[in-house]
Amino acid sequence: MQHPSLQLSIGDQHLLLQLARSSVQAVCMGQDPPPLPTDAPAHLHTGAAAFVTLYREGQLRGCIGTFDNSTPLLNNIVNMAEAAALRDPRFPPVSAEELPHISLAISVLTPPIPIDDIEKIIVGTHGIVISQGHRRGVLLAKVAVEQRWDRDTFLEQTCRKAGLLPQAWHRFGYDPTLSIAVFQELSFAEET
């Protein structure tokens, strides 16, 4: 059965994309984020985890997300859009001059489920969370597809994102401090 957070109509997706776009535009121009739409369907006011990804002419320009599924989806979209535009540590903040060149995508996530076997990871279906101590790396399923990674490369890149050695995942099952979880996502983007 599909998780409720992955059941969004095309209208819901357009509404969330518009909200993310207006949030990015506002914060990049030094304004407050827009108010939440009062006429949004009730299910968009329920908790769901989400990532917002920004691209500039097809290249990654920022991506921030949360696994907090207690905050309403609409709020998470506004917060993650603002964070992707201004606070991704890999990039300088998006400038107002860049806005015409920025496109965005949203991924709504299921809660992560710990796994006990690497073989349970299905590239193209699952995103990965690798944790060890205070380090955590997350990569969306769509990243592995876009990059044409196999499972081993996907695991290596997620370890890198966590600040671990790329081969750290080889200790999975032997090192009790290393955990791996998978999640699913519904990803949708502005038409370019």
Domain ranges of the chain: 9-109, 113-184
Provide the sign of the torsion angle of the four alpha carbons 14, 15, 17, 21, taken in this order: positive
Mean local confidence (pLDDT), 77-89? 96
CA angle, 48 then 50 then 54, to 5°: 160
Determine the pLDDT at residue 1. Answer: 38
Domain 113-184 has CATH 3.30.1490.150: yes
Asked if residue 65 lies in contact with residue 50, where contact means CB atoms within 8 angstroms, the answer is yes
Residues 131-171 pLDDT 10s: 999 999 999 999 999 999 999 999 999 999 999 999 999 99
Mean local confidence (pLDDT), 69-78? 94
Residue 58: both structure tokens together = 């097809």
* Residue type present at position 135: R
Residues 25-63 pLDDT 10s: 999 999 998 899 989 999 999 999 999 999 999 899 999
Asked if residue 83 lies in contact with residue 64, where contact means CB atoms within 8 angstroms, the answer is yes
Q: Which CATH architecture has domain 9-109?
A: 2-Layer Sandwich (3.30)
pTM: 0.88
